Structure 1
Amino acid sequence: MRLGLIFVVLLVLLGSGPAAVAEHKGVSVDDMMKVEGLGSALIDPAGRWLVYERLRPYDQIPDYSFRTYAFGKSGHQLWRYDLARGGEPHPLPGIDPEPHAWLGGFSPSGRFLTVMQYRFGDLSIAAYDMQGEASVTFEQAPAFSRTGEYGPVWISGTELVFAALPAGQQPLATSVRALTGKRLSSAWQAAWTNSGPTADEVRTVPRDGPGGPAPGQLVRADAMSGKTTVLADGLYADLRLSADGRMLAALGVSQPDPADPAALVETDRRHYTLTVFDLTSGLPKLLAPGLEFMPYTITWDPGGHRLAAFGWERGGDPRSGRFHVVDLSTGRVTRYDHDGLDLVSERERGWLQRPERTVFLGDDLALFAREIPESEDQAPRFTYQDIRPDHLPAPDWYRLSADGRHANLTRGLADVSGVPVHAGEGHLTVWAQDGVYRLGETGARRRLSAGVSGRFRFLAPGTFTARRGVARPEFADEAMFTVRQDGGSQIVMLDLRKGEEGKSVSIRAPAADALPLAGSLMAGSVVFEAADGPVTRLLAGRTGSHDPPEEITRLNSHLEGVDFGTWKRVAYDVADPEGLLPPQPLESCLLLPPGTDSSAPLPLIVDVYPGSAGICPGAGQKIAYPDPHSPYLWAGQGYAYARVATPTGLIRTPEGPIAGLPAVIDAGVEAIIGTGLVDPERIALHGFSQGAVSALFVAAHSNRYKAVIAKNGWADLFSHYFGGSGVYAYFYGDFGSYLGYDSVAGSDFGIGRTPFEDPDMYYRNSPVFLAPDIDTPVLLMHSDLDSFDMAQFDEMFGALQRAGKDARYVRYWGEGHGPSSPANIRDMWARMGSFLAEHGVAPDE
């Protein structure tokens, strides 16, 4: 869509007149470094113990080496609280409090709890005994991913199965900076002392040959003794236990085959084959050897005799995939062709390009899809999508038969979710806007949430190995929902057991924005994270109680008396001057500093990020984790801060993925200037990560701004496409960051063509080649252990230097995607403040 953009301010939801800052205490960097937080929480099956993750004050963390940044992802300690007896919460006894620690899941009896711990690059997995108050740590390092592929599985009351890495290896998803630092240091010492060669070789063809198995082990671990046995050599993903506990399905991971065209274009270039393990004999059985499968798509039938997964012919395109059902007794594979349907991608709700989960419904499958218009080819589709697309018809759950026939199971229901709540023999439970429904294989539909009205939202739990909102949780006997109503919200817990389905209990939420962390029908309790001004409270609400929820603990009391500032909405139109399309209304967000009055206009920081919705935070503002990039830090220093809406449909044009961004940003800024609250002569651009290249691109097309700060991004689409993936290229051979460019759907920088095919597109969208057009002073900041290669900003600084521009370049050593250590965070803010003051973008004294 080619748009010449103009704007018309429709409505500014602000008072008029200029503004200045009175004496009010805002959030400082020192305040942020003391912030605590809460992570996941679990209630044991008996309903007695609440175990939760508590992030210690950030400047008290002994280890800032986690992955490519530490804040929000580490600092966790495990605490427990006795829901039955009350009292004070305490750190989980019998476990080392120094490492970062995260919850896994309880064993079926609730006696054991899976725990993962991390310290300076080493990740371990342990079983904690709730009775003995001690843990056993298994010797193998677990494979790890936040996307659900490597979640460990309890196969009995005392045994755990997990995917492990080869001896001496650690998962990059937790340990990449620490491992790289150790290996670099060792190699340097070896070279300087002539202790041996230090060369490292990467090849376009894997050393063990194309398609070789990924190294690792499938480990069976005993929680009582700590002993482990190896079920199989090789790395395995998507561990799924059958309902009867006899069989374990898993996907064997193989290296990519460079001769395979799919290896060059897909998000995950590895291959996955299906294996089932008999847990009695320990014997494996390879199933459907001619297919490869997508991880995190396996599902068992309730009887444990069949399983389904999304797969395709080896060497093919995942978009040509189908769900396949495998009969364990015969090995027969049945392909379910979803003619007339387009499978919904998980990317639509913010994650990966993979179909939503399927479940068995008798002999059929239930899947989440859209009908293909009758005027189009009815061949089965799996279309890659953008995040939160606004142009697609609503999807539904369909029953799909092996012969290709399908029937809509949720027709007429509004806002049906693709995350199933439960499934059993001949039935599936889903949720929609107005409630929870059990769907039968004959098409019968029963509303389980009878008597409860409001807008429903399923609270699927998340863990360290599968983040909340992404997890495809194993079905439980109960489910928890937030139900929003006029005047507040309540938490509804539904019993899903056969014969008991639909029985429920409700607990009033302490506030509309209170986040339920865990709930238990057995305990009759829901545990909430709630804001009390800037203070975070952990609360337990009880069924049948008219008393306020009991407070378990409170965090961030040091923020009492701190003023976050005030968010205001600025609404305006972005219109097509040619009149080909109607104007599109947009709304951007302006954060005013604490104590803003009407004496003088404010300096403005314009934060640039592609695809931003421009949604303003609601009431009850709080800081949930130590965020060194928080807008409240700008407000605390006296700046106004703007989060300008940049919808993909307006910034993506035939000229490039963000070619329309400068006009969209300028339109939002003009609307904000029109409020009279900001000084048009003191406006700076700021961009972090994808926002960094975006801010530089805007600076090359507009002379409105007095300064631009670009942090931890890239600047040259050519070299970014072909070059090393930052820290992942040092020892791990990850080269070629082309995945976001080759496919338009789902990527903020999708071009759809390679540099071989359209070099000019890459040239004209790269800030490096636009350096002569940047007349704004530039501050570049980057880190040596980021996944965006620091060489990108080496290029950008060199281009600005050759073009004779005003630029400075700050590099942080040992850091990843932005600074993690408090010392470097403080240094970053001091340097940004000095740079802005030097160029006239500073608050009044």
Structure 2
Amino acid sequence: MEPLDLDALFELRSPSAVTVSPDGSRAAFLLTESDVDADEERTSLFVVPTDGSRDPHRLTRVADAGSPAWGPDGDRLAFLAARDEDVSLAVRPEGGEDAKEEDARGADEADEDPKSQVWSFDLARGGDARQVTDFEEGVEAFDWGPDGDRLVVAARDPTDEQREYLERVRDDGPIEVTRTQHRVDGKGWQDDVRTYLFVVDRETREARRLDDAYARGARAAFAGPQPAWGPGERIAFVSCFGESPDETYAQDAYAISPDGTGLERLTDGGLSAGSPRWSPDGDRLAFAANDATNACAPTEVYVVDGAADDSGAVTVRSVSHSLDRTALGGPVWTDEGSLLARAGDGGRARLVALDADDPVRIFGAQGKDRDLLDFDAAGGRTAALLSHPSDGEDLFAASTDGVRADAGEGDGTAGDASADDDAELVGLTALNESVLADAALPSCERVRFEDGDGVEIEAVVYLPADFDANDPEPRATIAHVHGGPLWFDAPRFDRDYAYWTGRGYVVCAVNYRGSTSYGREFAESIRGEWGPREADDIVSGVEELVDRGWADPDRLFVSGFSQGGINTLHVVTRSDAFAAAAPEHGIYDFYSNFGTADMHQWYVNDLGYPWENPERYRDISTISDVDEIATPLLITAGEDDRRCPAAQAEQLYVSVSRAGVESKLVVYPGEHHAIGAPERAKHRLETLTEWFEAHDPANASGE
């Protein structure tokens, strides 16, 4: 067996966005593949039967696809795509002379890139997808109506004056900003154009705007109104209609009739709500939400019971609070009184079953070393995207009753009841079998240890295929630090880790204090004081591996992306144990960062304003501690990153260079808070590895 090289790693295909048909017989999902010749990633839509009777079928073969959603009868499958205009619109406009006149405006825009629109396959009759919407600014999100003849669509709707402004900006005119949430990573400068909900007739494409239903607020700038149309005549969405909406993460759940009447506020402003889903009878609404002012508090699943009473009040209750675990995405109804949700639980994602009083951990069939990336359930079937460190990512299915079998009340780790019972799972895909079958891939171990404060911490450790944990030979070790910080490492397939373990490295992924999946107290322990606890936990985790004989103390390296880059700097300002470090896309001066990044409201919530609490901003910044650094640094950034702006990497690079630290700066032009194109992603991984190898004492001594 041979380790995967860079080219093989980028032959791997990544599934996402699974959705199950109403009768449970089929699952649709997206698959992202690398187009080597174009140096781009392509995302296609696939369908597969949930009984595993045949291989997945590719539905889309042009452009990209996103946000798949089944129609209520299961015969139609809609999705978002930025494709060339539907021939039926361009050649024979549907709707008569008025439509032809309206198409004249479209002809003026023919040279522009196509906007994302809703397209729909008629799976009963076959054929290519049909374009359902034709919004000049494209479609952000949509959902089917209960009859399948209408959809609710979220789309920007500029006034004439705003349209003129947008045209000037596209012609490189000046950008004018009046919003406090002035910019969003990957989306650019924020303007005053509202994103409204529209009800669209599937056949005629006629769209009616719901004037009282639109996105507003800081959180909406990231995710939009997230429309959901239930079995009845109510449409749910999220927005913030209070004062100073750009200066809060509060986001309420609302309901409105499809004729635009009867706007109803369902929450009271204390939550940041998202991902609404109606119950099968349409009487109740479930959604995920966290505290609007405290990001460290677990995201919980809430249910709104019934309509408002005569006083306008509704009953809103959390159905997951007692778990003390954070929900990852929105809930899914399985019957009138039960929901499923994906939750971070003890260093992995797993399913939880929720009702009014007794949420339980379930889905032991995923096994102790599989992480749940996504899921959906309908018609008595549940489909789940699972990831394993050495098996890759694939889609599985099971009966919903089987999935709900109690997997124990443990902490989500290997000791759970039924953790190794995978008899219920039906494999639906083998997406990367040809690449992974003969590859040397890592094994994975959970390691628990005490940090310097006596707190028990857990790390997920990836070991080379030829490594014997019981009779170890110490290896070069990379402490790789997850971002967030409100996230966690779990046993899953990771390109970086597969590549590094294939080259003989041990990879130590520490779930430091502040990580989610271990409860509110653990996550909140770093609130407003980022850095010292996380650094202690990361160093303590590496020391544990040294004590076990897994890690060579002279060949230690540390790296991380985003919050992982921030924490990497905290580590090397406090420890000289590492031979080299690579902070990626991080923040190193929070004081100067305020107002230049897109999540400044988070800083206000946790730290206050920098002019009121300058010391709090300075205390969590590492830029003033560069004289404590002796570790060679490779610093990376995306030129257009607005989550962790490139200027932060520049400040760090110039500062450590002037302080005499060996350093190198790598900036990826045009990239946001990620590295997208395959060749750049390869370059990143290769450059990190070369940095570690160049500073490995074993290489320097010729061993």
Normalised TM-score (structure 1): 0.59
1:677-735: CA deviation from partner (whole Å, max 9, x where unpaired): 3221111121211011111122112222221101111111111123x22xxxxxxxx5x
Please list, as runs of the form range in 1=range in 2, the aligned pairs for 1:546-585 lying within 5 A after superposition: 552-557=428-433, 558-574=435-451, 576=453, 583-585=454-456
Which residue is 2:513 aligned to? Answer: 647
In the alignment, structure 1 residue 44 sits paired with structure 2 residue 39 = no
Checking the alignment, whether the CA contact within 8 Å between 1:41 and 1:517 is kept in structure 2 is yes
Greater radius of gyration (CA):
1
Amino acid at match of 1:158: D
Q: How much does 1:117 deviate?
A: 1.8
Q: 1:105 to 1:756 in 2, by over 3 A?
A: same
Which residue is 1:768 aligned to? Answer: 623
Q: How much does 1:204 deviate?
A: 6.2
Matched residues in 2 for 1:253 and 1:543: separation? 35
Q: 1:534 aligns with which of 388, 391, 403?
A: 391
Q: How much does 1:610 deviate?
A: 7.2
Which residue is 2:90 aligned to? Answer: none
Please list, as runs of the form range in 1=range in 2, the aligned pairs for 1:455-604 lying within 5 A after superposition: 458=340, 483-484=362-363, 489=365, 513=370, 517=375, 521=379, 534=391, 538=395, 552-557=428-433, 558-574=435-451, 576=453, 583-596=454-467, 600-604=473-477
In the alignment, structure 1 residue 28 sits paired with structure 2 residue 8 = no
Checking the alignment, whether the CA contact within 8 Å between 2:21 and 2:70 is kept in structure 1 is yes
Matched residues in 2 for 1:460 and 1:290: separation? 23
Matched residues in 2 for 1:275 and 1:689: separation? 36
Q: How much does 1:668 deviate?
A: 2.3
Checking the alignment, whether the CA contact within 8 Å between 2:18 and 2:30 is kept in structure 1 is no
Matched residues in 1 for 2:228 and 2:589: separation? 43
In the alignment, structure 1 residue 636 sits paired with structure 2 residue 502 = yes
Matched residues in 1 for 2:392 and 2:267: separation? 56
Matched residues in 1 for 2:168 and 2:616: separation? 38
Checking the alignment, whether the CA contact within 8 Å between 1:651 and 1:657 is kept in structure 2 is no
Q: 1:743 to 1:117 in 2, by over 3 A?
A: same
Which residue is 2:65 aligned to? Answer: 101
Q: How much does 1:794 deviate?
A: 1.0
In the alignment, structure 1 residue 820 sits paired with structure 2 residue 676 = yes
* Residue aligned with 1:647, SS: coil
Please list, as runs of the form range in 1=range in 2, the aligned pairs for 1:227-266 lying within 5 A after superposition: 227-232=206-211, 235-236=214-215, 237=225, 239=227, 241=229, 244-245=232-233, 247-248=234-235, 260=244, 263-264=246-247, 266=248
Higher relative contact order (CA 8 A, sep 6+): 1
Which residue is 2:317 aligned to? Answer: 368
1:606-628: CA deviation from partner (whole Å, max 9, x where unpaired): 1234787998856xxx63xxx55
Matched residues in 1 for 2:170 and 2:192: separation? 30
Which residue is 1:686 aligned to? Answer: 559
Matched residues in 2 for 1:832 and 1:105: separation? 39
Q: 1:703 to 1:126 in 2, by over 3 A?
A: same
Which residue is 1:439 aligned to? Answer: none
Amino acid at match of 1:52: A
Q: How much does 1:42 deviate?
A: 3.7
Amino acid at match of 1:36: R
Which residue is 1:128 aligned to? Answer: 121
Q: 1:292 to 1:121 in 2, by over 3 A?
A: farther
Name the count of aligned residue pairs: 601
Matched residues in 2 for 1:652 and 1:417: separation? 15
Which residue is 2:46 aligned to? Answer: 79
Q: How much does 1:795 deviate?
A: 0.9
* Residue aligned with 1:596, SS: coil
Checking the alignment, whether the CA contact within 8 Å between 2:590 and 2:620 is kept in structure 1 is yes
Matched residues in 2 for 1:122 and 1:782: separation? 29
In the alignment, structure 1 residue 738 sits paired with structure 2 residue 646 = no
Q: 1:470 to 1:263 in 2, by over 3 A?
A: farther
Matched residues in 2 for 1:554 and 1:215: separation? 43
More helix by share: 2
Checking the alignment, whether the CA contact within 8 Å between 1:613 and 1:646 is kept in structure 2 is no
Q: How much does 1:225 deviate?
A: 3.6
Amino acid at match of 1:804: G
Matched residues in 2 for 1:483 and 1:290: separation? 29
Q: How much does 1:160 deviate?
A: 0.9
Amino acid at match of 1:534: D
Q: How much does 1:556 deviate?
A: 0.7
Matched residues in 2 for 1:528 and 1:308: separation? 22
Matched residues in 2 for 1:835 and 1:703: separation? 17
1:19-51: CA deviation from partner (whole Å, max 9, x where unpaired): xxxxx5223322220111322344433555x24
1:546-570: CA deviation from partner (whole Å, max 9, x where unpaired): x997765421121112122233344
Matched residues in 2 for 1:430 and 1:301: separation? 9
In the alignment, structure 1 residue 804 sits paired with structure 2 residue 675 = no
Which residue is 1:794 aligned to? Answer: 650
Q: How much does 1:221 deviate?
A: 1.7
Amino acid at match of 2:117: S
Which residue is 1:91 aligned to? Answer: 58
Q: 1:640 to 1:45 in 2, by over 3 A?
A: closer
Matched residues in 2 for 1:206 and 1:693: separation? 23
Q: How much does 1:366 deviate?
A: 5.2
Q: How much does 1:107 deviate?
A: 2.6
Matched residues in 2 for 1:667 and 1:527: separation? 35
Checking the alignment, whether the CA contact within 8 Å between 1:222 and 1:228 is kept in structure 2 is yes
Q: 1:224 to 1:714 in 2, by over 3 A?
A: same
Amino acid at match of 1:368: R
Q: 2:573 aligns with which of 700, 706, 713?
A: 700
* Residue aligned with 1:561, SS: coil
Please list, as runs of the form range in 1=range in 2, the aligned pairs for 1:155-304 lying within 5 A after superposition: 155-166=146-157, 187=172, 198-203=173-178, 214-232=193-211, 235-236=214-215, 237=225, 239=227, 241=229, 244-245=232-233, 247-248=234-235, 260=244, 263-264=246-247, 266-267=248-249, 276-277=256-257, 279=258, 282=259, 284-285=261-262, 296=274
Q: CA RMSD in A?
A: 5.1
Checking the alignment, whether the CA contact within 8 Å between 1:569 and 1:616 is kept in structure 2 is no
Checking the alignment, whether the CA contact within 8 Å between 1:673 and 1:680 is kept in structure 2 is yes
Normalised TM-score (structure 2): 0.70
* Residue aligned with 1:826, SS: helix
Q: 1:308 to 1:769 in 2, by over 3 A?
A: closer
Q: How much does 1:676 deviate?
A: 2.2
Matched residues in 1 for 2:24 and 2:321: separation? 37
Matched residues in 1 for 2:390 and 2:207: separation? 48
Q: How much does 1:781 deviate?
A: 0.7
Checking the alignment, whether the CA contact within 8 Å between 1:126 and 1:136 is kept in structure 2 is yes
Q: 1:111 aligns with which of 64, 75, 79?
A: 75
Matched residues in 2 for 1:510 and 1:567: separation? 13
* Residue aligned with 2:552, SS: strand
